[in-house]
Homo-oligomer: A and B are copies of this chain.
Amino acid sequence: MKIGILGSGMVGQNLGAALARAGHDIVLGTRTPDDLDRERGRSAKSLRAWLDQAGTHARVATFAEAATHGDVVVNATSGAGALEALRLAGEDSLRGKVVIDTSNPLDFSRGMPPTLSVCNNDSLGERIQRAFPSARVVKTLNTTNTLVMTDPARLAGGEHTMFLCGNDADARRSVANYLNEWFGWSDIIDLGDITNARGMEMVLPLWIRLMGVLGTPMFNFRIVR
C-alpha cells in the first residue's frame, strides 16, 4: 500500500520503518528532506540512518510529495507542528484520503509537565478536520508510545486497547482494519465522530505522569469490561 507519513521524528520514523519493512511503499515527508544527517529530535535518528533501517520500500521527500504519494496519509508530526505540516502537504493532496492523525497538542512552552494547547471543548483532531474538510481524518494511536503502536504484542501479548474516532464511518472501519493488518491490534474501540478526539487527547496528562511514575513508556490502557 502507498502510505505517506508526515513527520520525521521518533513517531514518523518508527511508523514508517515498520510499514516499509512490512512491504508497504512509504514516503516520509519532512520540511527538510535534503538534510539527511541531522538527528531528528528526542530519540530519533538521522534520516540517513532511518533509510538504512527502513529498507528499499522507503524514501524521504517533502510533506507535499509524501501526501501526494499516499493512498493513506499519516500525520506523525508533533502537535505544535501538525497544522503547518498539513498546510505544506496541501489540501489537494489530502482530498478524499484517509488521514490518520496520531498527534497530541502538547504545549511544552511552560516547562514540564506539558499542558494541552487545546482541550475540553475542542481538540487538535477537530482542528485538523475543520482545516481540511475534504480529508477523512481518523484520530488514533495517540494514546501509546510509538513502539507499542507498531507492535502491541510486545506488551502483555497485545491484551490492551486502541481507540479511534472520526466523522467518516467508512474511514474509521478502514483504519480499524489497517491497525489490525499493519500492527496486529485486536482490541480497537470506535468512539464515533471526531469530537471524541477531545477525550483521546485529554488522557495525555495522565499518560505522561504514568510514564514518570512507572519509569517507562512501555505501558498502555486496557479497557477492562
Q: Can you list 11 pairs linking A and B with CB atoms under 8 Å apart?
A: A119-B119, A159-B224, A163-B206, A191-B210, A200-B206, A202-B202, A202-B203, A214-B225, A220-B223, A220-B224, A221-B222
Query: Is A198 within 8 A of B189, CB to CB?
Result: no
Interface residues of A: mostly helix, strand, loop or mixed? mixed
Total number of A residues with any Cβ neighbor in B under 8 Å? 37
Q: Which residue of B lies closest to A196 (CB)?
A: B209
Given A115-B120, A119-B202: A219 and B209 interface contact (C-beta under 8 Å): no
Given A115-B120, A120-B120, A206-B202: A213 and B225 interface contact (C-beta under 8 Å): no
A81 at the interface (CB under 8 A from B): no
A181-192 near B? 1/0 per residue, CB < 8 Å: 000000001111
Give A2-23 interface residues, CB cut-off 8 Å to B.
Answer: none
A116 at the interface (CB under 8 A from B): yes
Given A120-B120, A202-B203: A224 and B219 interface contact (C-beta under 8 Å): yes
Nearest-neighbour CB distance to chain B for A139, whole angstroms, equals 12
Give CA–CA (A155, B116) in the complex, Å.
32
Q: Which residue of B lies closest to A110 (CB)?
A: B121
A33 at the interface (CB under 8 A from B): no
Query: Is A210 within 8 A of B192, CB to CB?
Result: no
Provide the residues of chain B in CB contact with A131, threshold 8 Å.
none
